[in-house]
Amino acid sequence: IANKKLLVLPGDGIGPEVMHEVRRVIDWMEQRRLVRFEIGEGLVGGAAIDAEGVPCPDRTLEAAREADAVLFGSVGGPKWDKLPFEQRPELGILRLRKELGLFANLRPAIVLDPLVDASSLKPDVVRGLDIMIVRESTGGIYFGEPRGIHTDANGKRIGIDTEVYSEDEIARAARVAFDLARKRRNKVTSTEKANVMQSGRLWRAVVSEVHKAEFPDVELEHMYADNAAMQLCSRPKQFDVILASNLFGDVLSDLAAALTGSLGMLPSATLGAVQPDGRRHALYEPIHGSAPDIAGKGIANPSAQILSFAMLLRWSFGMEEQARMVEQAVERVLAGGMRTADIMQPGMARISCSVMGESVVREL
Amino acid sequence: IANKKLLVLPGDGIGPEVMHEVRRVIDWMEQRRLVRFEIGEGLVGGAAIDAEGVPCPDRTLEAAREADAVLFGSVGGPKWDKLPFEQRPELGILRLRKELGLFANLRPAIVLDPLVDASSLKPDVVRGLDIMIVRESTGGIYFGEPRGIHTDANGKRIGIDTEVYSEDEIARAARVAFDLARKRRNKVTSTEKANVMQSGRLWRAVVSEVHKAEFPDVELEHMYADNAAMQLCSRPKQFDVILASNLFGDVLSDLAAALTGSLGMLPSATLGAVQPDGRRHALYEPIHGSAPDIAGKGIANPSAQILSFAMLLRWSFGMEEQARMVEQAVERVLAGGMRTADIMQPGMARISCSVMGESVVREL
Ligand SMILES: CC(C)[C@H](C(=O)O)[C@@H](O)C(=O)O
Ligand SMILES: CC(C)[C@H](C(=O)O)[C@@H](O)C(=O)O
């Protein structure tokens, strides 16, 4: 087995503690010679601000560029809320996405059988739910220029952001969605506000063109983003793959995650384009944020971080078998009745972050 | 009772049929001399495009300006999907909002006791739900310039929209939210993406300033819009008043409406500033759209349109008593077990749009 370069970026809040449990899983695998990694660790987010004054130091960026995959924790917290905009922890992940060209953020929303009751929705509405959201993640309103807060002639402040999408940006995100749909239930729901936004109008046109030219066999449906939010809540199982801009994807993927009731279980991947040499930049992170309110208490659920590592094994390292091993170990821990606080249910055994990590290793 | 000027704009899809049921309610009230209106009717949306080539004819705008209140149906439908952007039915409502200065779109999400089971959420999660969303509705990304689809130097299309907010626009929307909160449970949750958007950063700052200077007695909480979507789904009862930009408000209010499972029951109001002469432009409309798929079938639920009329009576005409009468009549019809198709439940009697309207009149 080749030496793969893995960069670990724990970040802030519960990031370090859940990442600690992943390290146990990696250790176990390395001992069994199931994998061999060259592991680097770097600073990002508030942790990087505290140590070096910027949310994504050049050294971190370089290490990420050289790595075969990045395992990311989470960034942000009240400690850095008063900093000027350009120095916020969140810019750490935005810079990584942008500089590595990680344009396709894949966010599965899956309801595992033992966790059906964790959802706030009725069991029948969410049982077996399996949605994949493809969120465009290097364009749109988080990056468009002009942006800033200006003062007008009357001394009044004006805040500006620009939503801008080129047809190529839309097309490559759409291709990822159609490709995934082919391996799933063959349906893509593309969301925008083509009725009131110009970027939405272009979005709808380009997605239709890519569909017609390259993926006519996949079912394509267009849906306004407001309606998509509504439909996700009322009839989520109608969806297979949902395609969305950076902004709508942010909101809709968080909503889809909330439907499952088990945010602490959900991994995500953000992928770049395949390079001429066959390499592809990729970053894996849990959907949950840094959860500063519970950080350091040892009660966080490390599953999403562990499952992000499993996704990494599968998609970046081609280790399908090892990925399944990890995923099944997590599932067996749940089936055995152990629950971290976030997914606790009556009759189950409440366990800490580290016991969850240990239990996963035991199941391995 | 003074002669009040009411402008009725049925619009497209199910708009005309649900409006027809409101007319029955108005007729009944006029016969009883409970109200006296000067009622005008106008064209808007696709209906106006078909008749006059534009989604909001000047005549409609003038009539709306002169009216004491506007009762709006809904606009849009596949029939007009191929029209150029500037001629879309949706621009009818956007022009009315903009030209009349209707900047505060108030969207209640309420779960009535007999309809708890209509929700896709567990009964305990939504029973007694009562959220009010204040959506800014004349600014932000639906109106900001520059906007359009351009071709760059390489012949590639680029779609652009601009999110722009001035501090005054934010402040006046915030005041509406704080004012409402004082009459409710005294809490405002202001939503934005201050972590990644400049307009969001200004939004948070201005809302905090207005709070400190004018409403220190109201509880204020800031929440990222993605997290708000998540929290609405998992623990909706934590909210009282939610304040949001035009774009986030669009998505979050539709989501909040979906939580109730009874979209066909939800009215909304869009208010302008109080003028020096004490008048205030106002437009009332159901939250549901034009629902082209069921238009003309006689199965739409007219309740949201009827309840929009009740809101109009209360807020624009100061007729609290008459408003309550209408609302209670609707509630009694439901309590009696009658349901239109959208909220049908086992054991209830399924009725048509017109029978629902007749039943409300009977209960009056
Ligand atoms: C941390 C923040 C910049 C980020 C985003 O909005 O993209 C987060 O909310 C996410 O969804 O990954
Ligand atoms: C019809 C459309 C322009 C409108 C909007 O997006 O504002 C609708 O979705 C709404 O929410 O009132």
Is pLDDT above 70 for A153? yes
Tell me the nearest-neighbour CA distance from A35 into chain B, angstroms: 36
pTM of the complete model: 0.95
- For chain B, domains (ranges, CATH) are 1-103+266-364 (3.40.718.10), 120-260 (3.40.718.10)
CB contact under 8 A, A159 and B195: no
Give the contacts of B321 (CB within 8 A, at least 6 positions apart).
none
At B13-51, the pLDDT tens digits run 999 999 999 999 999 999 988 788 899 999 999 999 999
Query: How many Cα atoms within 13 Å fall on the side-chain side of residue B185?
Result: 13
Is residue A93 in contact with ligand 1, taking CB distance under 6 Å? yes
Is residue A94 in contact with ligand 1, taking CB distance under 6 Å? yes
Among chain B residues, CA nearest to A119? B234
Nearest CA to ligand 2 atom 5: B250
Q: Looking at residues B152-167, what average pLDDT do you find?
A: 97
- Give me ligand 2 centre to Cα B217, in Å: 33
In degrees to the nearest 10, what's the CA dihedral of A147, A11, A291, A23?
A: 150
Neighbour order of strands in the sheet with A37-41: A37-41, A4-11, A69-74, A280-286, A267-274, A104-110, A130-136, A241-244, A187-192, A219-224
Report chain B residues whose CB lies below 8 A from the CB of A199: 159-161
Give the pLDDT score at B172: 98
CB contact under 8 A, A160 and B125: no
Give the pLDDT score at A48: 97
Question: pLDDT class for B2, splitting at 50, 70, 90?
Answer: low
Report chain A residues whose CB lies below 8 A from the CB of B205: 157
Residue A268 CA: nearest ligand 1 atom is 12
Taking the CB of residue A300, how many other CB atoms lie within 10 A of it?
A: 30
Tell me the two tokens of residue A89: 């922890």
Give the Cα separation of B278 and A17 in Å (integer): 59
At B284-293, the pLDDT tens digits run 999 999 999 9
Pairing outcome for strands B144-151 and B130-136: unpaired
- Give me ligand 1 centre to Cα B346, in Å: 42
To test ligand 1's pocket by mutation, which of B191, B223, B226 has the most ligand atoms within 8 angstroms of CB? B226
Contact (CB, 8 A) for A120 and B261: no
CB contact under 8 A, B255 and A233: yes
Is pLDDT above 70 for A1? no
Across the interface, of A144, A157, A168, the residue whose CB is closest to B202 is A157
Give the Cα separation of B289 and B270 in Å (integer): 15
Residue B137 CA: nearest ligand 2 atom is 7
Q: Looking at residues B208-235, what average pLDDT do you find?
A: 98
Across the interface, of A159, A230, A261, the residue whose CB is closest to B234 is A261
Alpha helices by DSSP H, chain A:
15-31, 46-52, 58-66, 90-99, 123-126, 167-182, 198-214, 225-234, 246-260, 303-315, 320-335, 353-363
Pairing outcome for strands B130-136 and B241-244: parallel
Q: Looking at residues A273-299, what average pLDDT do you find?
A: 94
At B93-124, the pLDDT tens digits run 999 999 999 999 999 999 999 999 999 999 99
Task: Give percent of chain A above pLDDT 70.
Answer: 99
At B175-187, the pLDDT tens digits run 999 999 999 999 9
Is residue A90 in contact with ligand 1, taking CB distance under 6 Å? yes
- On whether B79 is known to bind a ligand per the annotation, the reply is yes
Across the interface, of B196, B230, B255, the residue whose CB is closest to A230 is B255
**Amino acid (1-letter code) at residue B280:** R
Q: Helix, strand, or coil here: A253? A: helix
Give the contacts of B275 (CB within 8 A, at least 6 positions apart).
none
Is pLDDT above 70 for A219? yes
Question: pLDDT class for A200, splitting at 50, 70, 90?
Answer: very high
Is residue B90 in contact with ligand 2, taking CB distance under 6 Å? yes
Q: Would you please indicate which residues of A are annotated as catalytic (active-site) residues?
A: 142, 193, 226, 250, 254
Report chain B residues whose CB lies below 8 A from the CB of A263: 230
Give the Cα separation of B105 and B122 in Å (integer): 28
Residue A285 CA: nearest ligand 1 atom is 12
Lowest mean pLDDT among A76-80, B81-85, B125-129, B259-263: B81-85
B5 has which bridge partners? B38
Helix (H) or strand (E) holding A219: strand A219-224
Q: What's the Cα-to-Cα distance from B215 to each of A30, A49, B202, rounded to whole Å?
A: 59, 35, 18
Q: Looking at residues B281-305, what average pLDDT do you find?
A: 96
Give the pLDDT score at A34: 75
Is residue B195 in contact with ligand 1, taking CB distance under 6 Å? yes
- Give me ligand 2 centre to Cα B288, in Å: 10
The verdict on whether omega for the bond into residue A84 sits within 30 degrees of 0, i.e. cis, is no
Contact (CB, 8 A) for A307 and A267: yes
Is residue A196 in contact with ligand 2, taking CB distance under 6 Å? yes
Give the Cα separation of B320 and B317 in Å (integer): 8
Tell me the nearest-neighbour CA distance from B199 into chain A, angstroms: 4
Taking the CB of residue B130, how many other CB atoms lie within 10 A of it?
A: 15
Region of residue A44 (left: phi > 0; alpha: psi -120 to 50; beta: else): beta
CB contact under 8 A, B165 and A147: no
Tell me the two tokens of residue A149: 């807060």
Give 3-state DSSP helix, strand, coil % of chain A, rounded to 5. Answer: 45, 25, 30
Give the pLDDT score at B85: 85
Contact (CB, 8 A) for A243 and A173: yes
Nearest residue to B243 (alpha-carbon basis) of B208, B196, B289: B208
Tell me the nearest-neighbour CA distance from B108 into chain A, angstroms: 15
- On whether B81 is known to bind a ligand per the annotation, the reply is yes
Is pLDDT above 80 for B170? yes
Phi and psi angles of residue B325, each rounded to the nearest 5 degrees, phi first: -55, -50
Contact (CB, 8 A) for A201 and B159: yes
Nearest residue to A37 (alpha-carbon basis) of A60, A13, A68, A78: A68
Residues tagged in the binding site annotation of A: 77-90, 97, 107, 135, 226, 250, 254, 289-301
Give the Cα separation of A360 and A251 in Å (integer): 31
Report chain B residues whose CB lies below 8 A from the CB of A261: 234
Report chain B residues whose CB lies below 8 A from the CB of A190: none
Contact (CB, 8 A) for B192 and B204: yes
At B188-214, the pLDDT tens digits run 999 999 999 999 999 999 999 999 999
Tell me the two tokens of residue B96: 């009315």
Is pLDDT above 60 for B168? yes
Report chain B residues whose CB lies below 8 A from the CB of A196: 90, 94, 142
Is pLDDT above 70 for B1? no
Give the Cα separation of A360 and B154 in Å (integer): 53
Give the pLDDT score at A278: 87
Q: Would you please indicate which residues of B are annotated as catalytic (active-site) residues?
A: 142, 193, 226, 250, 254
Nearest residue to A72 (alpha-carbon basis) of A5, A134, A19: A19
- Give me ligand 2 centre to Cα B293, in Å: 18
CB contact under 8 A, A202 and B158: yes
Three state DSSP letters for chain B: CCCEEEEEEEECCCHHHHHHHHHHHHHHHHHCCCCCEEEEECCCCHHHHHHHCCCCCHHHHHHHHHCCEEEEEECCCHHHCCCCHHHCCHHHHHHHHHHCCCCEEEEEEECCHHHHHHCCECHHHHCCCEEEEEEECCCHHHCEEEEEEEECCCCCEEEEEEEEEEHHHHHHHHHHHHHHHHCCCCEEEEEECCCCCHHHHHHHHHHHHHHHHHCCCCEEEEEEHHHHHHHHHHCHHHCCEEEECHHHHHHHHHHHHHHHCCHHHCEEEEEEEECCCCCEEEEEEECCCCCCCCCCCCCCCCHHHHHHHHHHHHHCCCCHHHHHHHHHHHHHHHHCCEECHHHCCCCCEECCHHHHHHHHHHHC
Contact (CB, 8 A) for B87 and B79: no
DSSP classification of residue A129: -
CB contact under 8 A, A230 and B206: no
CB contact under 8 A, A263 and B168: no
Across the interface, of B88, B125, B226, the residue whose CB is closest to A254 is B226
Q: Looking at residues A124-140, what average pLDDT do you find?
A: 98
Give the pLDDT score at A2: 62
- Distance separating the N- and C-terminal Cα atoms of chain A: 19
Residues tagged in the binding site annotation of A for Mg(2+): 226, 250, 254
Tell me the two tokens of residue B347: 């054991």
Q: Helix, strand, or coil here: A16? A: helix
**Amino acid (1-letter code) at residue B301:** N
Give the pLDDT score at B138: 97
Among chain B residues, CA nearest to A289? B227
Is pLDDT above 90 for B281? yes
Q: Looking at residues B271-285, what average pLDDT do you find?
A: 94
Give the pLDDT score at A81: 87
- Rg of chain B over Cα atoms, rounded to whole angstroms, equals 20
- On whether B107 is known to bind a ligand per the annotation, the reply is yes
- The number of residues making up chain B comes to 364
- Rg of chain A over Cα atoms, rounded to whole angstroms, equals 20
Give the pLDDT score at A11: 97
- The number of residues making up chain A comes to 364
Is residue A195 in contact with ligand 2, taking CB distance under 6 Å? yes
